[in-house]
Amino acid sequence: PSDKAMVCFGNMFIELPKARTREMLQKDQEHLDEEINKLRKELRVKVNRLFEAQGKSELKGFNLNPMSAEEMKLINRILEG
């Protein structure tokens, strides 16, 4: 068991310490989660504007938020036992 991990950047592999690699992946995942949430919020506004321009009523239930992983675990725990 080595304390280094091979990481692919573009078309090359670089060997980095596992702790540093884990930290980089966590930061990258957090950034991606923030971007996804930002795009979801913007999409809701754009869809509402589109429906308004078409003279249609606002979609019902469209402003719902997805459950977090922690909330899903709790729901599954309740359903199992």
Q: 35-61, pLDDT tens digit by residue? A: 998 998 898 889 888 988 999 887 777
Distance CA 19, CA 4 (A): 8
Tell me, rounded to whole angstroms, the distance of Cα 9 from its chain centroid: 21
pTM of structure: 0.60
Give phi and psi for 15, each to the nearest 5.
Answer: -95, 120
pLDDT digits (tens, 9 = 90+) for 3-42: 999 999 899 999 999 999 999 999 999 999 999 989 988 9
